[in-house]
Amino acid sequence: MRWKVPGQVMVSCVFPPRCPICGELRFPWESGTCTECAERLSYIQEPVCLACGREISSCEKEYCTECEKLRPVVERNFAVWQYDRWMKRSIADFKYEGRTEYAPFYARNIVQCYGARLKRLGVSVLVPVPCSKKRKRFRGYNQAEVLSGVLAKELDCKVCRLLRRTKDTLPQNALAPAERKKNLIGAFAWDERAAGELVTVPAVVAIVDDIYTTGNTMNSCAAVLKQHGVREVYGISVCVGGAR
């Protein structure tokens, strides 16, 4: 009797996937992460800020302290994990080390946590945060575009690059919070060519990025989208900064 081995299993045996958290090789029949890393993941837990999606200390509050002072342009950001030391490593590998194979893991978790809600909100188009041409050439890809492509298949919606980067800004993680907003002034613009591929401007979109920290990047993008007719803009990020 001959055993038929599925092609994907054979590929996985020859090229075993890596755990998207620790980066170690794992067996092809394991799903998600290795056993140890499954226990390390810190999922966002209620209560959360209804704007930025961070964990907050009291269920009696709707918004964190920062969002109470200055409400974000995005209607709400949806994030899966805390940006702790484990996710910091994972995102860095995804973003800078060519680990684009981590995208399906991120996308599956986003859909499990928020897929039904995003559909109820009417999200029809995903807009990846654009990176500069210089950075894209250096890395070989834009991690937000990679994630958007995988996520769009899971959510059965479109990816449209409605935004373009107009200047090569300094990395946000290298700047103090007060400098980050200034760094992004005029950094994003409406992409007429991409918009022309759509019949009409979508009413509801979601901006996709890897990390939501101060929110300056996502809110700068949302402001441009709303200036050009998008009614509601939501955010989707793999991780979000600490509780407030």
Model confidence pLDDT, tens digit, residues 128-185? 999 988 888 989 999 999 999 999 999 999 999 999 998 766 555 555 565 666 666 7
Q: Which amino acid is at 101?
A: E
Cβ–Cβ contacts within 10 Å for residue 194, how many?
15
Residue 90 shares a structural domain with residue 138: yes
pLDDT band at 9 (very low <50, low <70, confident <90, very high): very low
Residue 9 shares a structural domain with residue 66: no
Residue 30 shares a structural domain with residue 54: no
Residue 108 structural domain: 42-240
pLDDT band at 187 (very low <50, low <70, confident <90, very high): confident
Round to whole Å and give the CA distance between 60 and 62. Answer: 7
Q: What are φ and ψ of residue 204, in 5° steps?
A: -130, 125
Instruction: Please give the helix or strand (H or E) that residue 197 lies within, else none.
Output: none
Residue 115 shares a structural domain with residue 230: yes
Residue 30 shares a structural domain with residue 72: no
The reported pTM is 0.87
Residue 135 shares a structural domain with residue 215: yes
Round to whole Å and give the CA distance between 169 and 68. Answer: 28
Q: Are strands 125-128 and 158-159 parallel, antiparallel or unpaired?
A: parallel
226 has a pLDDT exceeding 50: yes
Residue 105 shares a structural domain with residue 122: yes
Q: At 120, is the secondary structure helix, strand, or coil?
A: helix
CATH number of the structural domain spanning residue 209:
3.40.50
For the chain, how many structural domains are there in total? 2
Residue 153 shares a structural domain with residue 179: yes
Residue 126 shares a structural domain with residue 84: yes
**pLDDT tens track for 27-81:** 644 568 888 899 999 999 999 999 999 999 888 889 999 899 888 999 999 999 9
